[in-house]
């Protein structure tokens, strides 16, 4: 069959006959001619028509039946077949019949339904593109925001390497089976350099992936996520400088900001130099304020306050296999803090797992459960286990229960530099090798190496031995 060949090619057939279609009210599905109305411009030539329906020597009814199959995807009903056969016998050309079918409501509905089942679409963005383009690979858009507005469920937006103005906004949602993916085709090659004092990228949609970008700028937020069921992965988020100064609004490299949202995953990112060194107690590396979500395989360092922070309405989260170092100062911040301080509706932190993390050389806290004075914000089902915590101002502070299987020793990175220029994989003699828990841990590391590589899971973002 040749549905793909049946597209607009010419105007109505040479005999000048025109048809428009309506469904027969009696429910037979017959397509009736309205000869007084002009046919829209979608048409097919006699040559192409005969190629699609067979020989012109075939009977009229056979040719009409094949048009039903080719254009409408079904066998003809008896009333429709009789009607169109009568029209052709009265002088209408087969070509005019095909054009009428092409412009029918049934044809539009049939092909719209087929398009809706397609799960993958692609749009393209390039610094050499134009937002007046169509977003194809040959004619890419210029901005991610334009592509985001044109996306639909199942779209992958490919962003070519280059530097793009920041303050990206994404508002169109995917679905659970057809997510919308924003992908830097070269890891960290598409650089989002923002302006202003707020977010470099604001997502307000659900079922969205943001993968592989380099994001920096003068605002207080790298990526702010207001959606649910999202993934921020494999990005380099850095030098978010909070040029507007420290305010009660705080800031973060990545933040799941919507208290009512859920399941914001932050996986495999390198997040550093967020906020002003030694200042801005409200500026965190990775910050989550809602239910669920996995924070895994991230490397976080040189953040004004905490490397990883759960607060507000956070619960049911997993913080696993992160490497967190040199965050905060002697007066504020530290490695990882979990709590729900000023949570709306009296929410408690429950069912949250903190495991397999390296928390090293943070001047103040290592890992801490925290509530405001007088609050009881830590509930049941939480666990802090198999973490390496060493060289911090304090080790692990628990409100409820106690930490288990903690490793208190130098992690023995291949090379350590608090400025981020070291190699944070593990030496073979590291006490973090094979000391992690398999429960709730990610199946790969930050580089995509399968876990476990040896007899058990390593602690930290890198699976080394």
Q: Give the tens place of pLDDT for each residue, 224-267.
A: 999 999 999 999 999 999 887 777 678 999 999 999 899 999 99
Q: Name the residue among 151, 163, 156, 170 with its Cα closest to residue 127.
A: 163
Tell me, what's the pLDDT at 54?
43
Whether omega before 452 lies within 30 degrees of 0, making that bond cis, reads yes
Sign of the Cα torsion 210, 351, 411, 458 reads: negative
Tell me, what's the pLDDT at 158?
97
In this predicted structure, the answer to whether residue 448 has a pLDDT above a threshold of 50 is yes
Select the more confidently predicted residue: 91 or 157. Answer: 157
Tell me, what's the pLDDT at 271?
99
Number of CB atoms found within 10 A of residue 453's CB: 16
Select the more confidently predicted residue: 372 or 2. Answer: 372
Q: Give the tens place of pLDDT for each residue, 50-86.
A: 334 444 457 888 888 888 888 888 999 998 888 888 8
Average pLDDT, rounded, for the chain = 84
Tell me, what's the pLDDT at 353?
96
Question: In degrees, to the nearest 5, what angle opens at C-alpha 356 toward C-alphas 206 and 381?
Answer: 70
Question: What's the CATH number for 121-407?
Answer: 2.160.20.10
Tell me, what's the pLDDT at 5?
26
In this predicted structure, the answer to whether residue 361 has a pLDDT above a threshold of 60 is yes
Q: Taking the mean position of all CA atoms in its chain, how far away is CA 335?
A: 27
Query: What is the pLDDT averaged over residues 192-209?
Result: 95
Query: What is the pLDDT averaged over residues 128-141?
Result: 96
Tell me, what's the pLDDT at 107?
82
Sequence-ordered list of residues with C-beta below 8 angstroms from that of 385, at least 6 positions apart, any chain: 353, 354, 355, 403, 404, 405, 406, 437
User: Above pLDDT 90, what percent of the chain?
Assistant: 58
In this predicted structure, the answer to whether residue 137 has a pLDDT above a threshold of 80 is yes
Tell me, what's the pLDDT at 114?
56
Select the more confidently predicted residue: 202 or 20. Answer: 202
In this predicted structure, the answer to whether residue 197 has a pLDDT above a threshold of 60 is yes
Range(s) within the chain of domains with CATH label 2.160.20.10: 121-407
Tell me, what's the pLDDT at 346?
66
Q: Give the tens place of pLDDT for each residue, 263-300.
A: 999 999 999 999 976 677 889 999 999 999 999 999 99
In this predicted structure, the answer to whether residue 6 has a pLDDT above a threshold of 50 is no
Q: How many CA atoms lie within 13 A of 351 on its CB side?
A: 9
Are the C-beta atoms of residues 21 and 88 closer than 8 Å to each other?
A: no
Q: Which two tokens stand for residue 84?
A: 């169109």
Q: Give the tens place of pLDDT for each residue, 20-31.
A: 323 333 333 332
Q: Give the tens place of pLDDT for each residue, 400-441.
A: 888 999 999 999 999 999 999 999 999 999 999 999 999 999
Are the C-beta atoms of residues 110 and 98 closer than 8 Å to each other?
A: no
Tell me, what's the pLDDT at 371?
76
Q: What is the pTM of this model?
A: 0.75
Select the more confidently predicted residue: 310 or 376. Answer: 310
Are the C-beta atoms of residues 397 and 367 closer than 8 Å to each other?
A: yes
Query: What is the pLDDT averaged over residues 316-336?
Result: 93
Question: In degrees, to the nearest 5, what angle opens at C-alpha 36 toward C-alphas 32 and 40?
Answer: 80
Sign of the Cα torsion 209, 270, 303, 460 reads: positive
Model confidence at 113, in pLDDT bands (50, 70, 90)? low
Determine the angle formed by the axes of helices 94-102 and 46-53, rounding to 10 degrees. 80
In this predicted structure, the answer to whether residue 342 has a pLDDT above a threshold of 70 is no
């Amino acid at each position: 069959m040749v549905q793909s060949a049946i597209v607009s090619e010419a105007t109505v057939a040479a005999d000048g006959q025109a048809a428009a279609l309506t469904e027969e009210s009696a429910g037979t599905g017959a397509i009736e001619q309205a000869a007084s109305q002009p046919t829209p411009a979608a048409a097919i030539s006699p040559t192409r028509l005969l190629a699609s329906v067979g020989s012109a020597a075939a009977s009229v009814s056979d040719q009409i039946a094949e048009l039903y199959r080719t254009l409408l995807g079904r066998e003809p009903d008896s009333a429709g077949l009789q009607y169109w056969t009568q029209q052709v016998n009265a002088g209408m050309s087969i070509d005019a019949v095909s054009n009428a079918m092409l412009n029918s409501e049934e044809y539009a509905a049939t092909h719209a339904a087929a398009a809706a089942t397609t799960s993958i679409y692609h749009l393209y963005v390039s610094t050499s593109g134009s937002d007046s383009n169509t977003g194809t690979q040959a004619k890419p858009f210029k901005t991610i925001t334009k592509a985001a507005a044109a996306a639909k469920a199942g779209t992958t937006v490919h962003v070519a390497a280059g530097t793009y103005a920041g303050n990206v906004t994404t508002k169109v949602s995917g679905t659970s089976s057809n997510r919308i993916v924003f992908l830097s085709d070269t890891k960290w090659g598409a650089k989002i350099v923002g302006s202003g004092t707020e977010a470099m990228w604001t997502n307000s949609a659900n079922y969205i992936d943001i993968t592989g970008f380099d994001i920096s700028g003068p605002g207080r937020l790298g990526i702010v996520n207001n959606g649910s069921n999202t993934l921020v992965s494999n990005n380099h988020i850095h030098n978010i400088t909070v040029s507007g100064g420290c305010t009660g609004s705080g800031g973060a490299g990545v933040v799941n900001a919507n208290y009512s949202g859920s399941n914001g995953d932050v996986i495999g990112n390198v997040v550093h130099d967020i906020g002003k060194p030694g200042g801005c107690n409200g500026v965190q590396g990775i910050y989550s304020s809602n239910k669920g979500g996995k924070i895994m395989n991230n490397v976080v360092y040189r953040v004004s306050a905490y490397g990883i922070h759960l607060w507000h309405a956070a619960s049911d989260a997993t913080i696993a296999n992160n490497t967190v170092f040199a965050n905060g100062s002697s007066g504020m911040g530290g490695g990882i803090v979990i709590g729900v301080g000023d949570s709306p509706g009296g929410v408690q932190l429950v069912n949250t797992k903190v495991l397999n993390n390296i928390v090293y050389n943070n001047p103040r806290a290592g890992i801490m459960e925290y509530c405001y004075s007088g609050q009881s914000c830590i509930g049941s089902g939480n666990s802090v286990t198999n973490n390496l915590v060493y060289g911090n101002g304090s080790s692990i502070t628990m409100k409820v229960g106690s930490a288990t299987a903690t490793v208190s020793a130098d992690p023995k990175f291949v090379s350590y530099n608090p400025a981020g220029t070291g190699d944070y994989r593990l030496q073979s003699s590291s006490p973090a090798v094979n000391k992690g828990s398999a429960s709730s841990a990610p199946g790969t590391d930050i580089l995509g190496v399968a876990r476990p590589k040896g007899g058990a899971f390593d602690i930290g973002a890198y699976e080394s031995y």
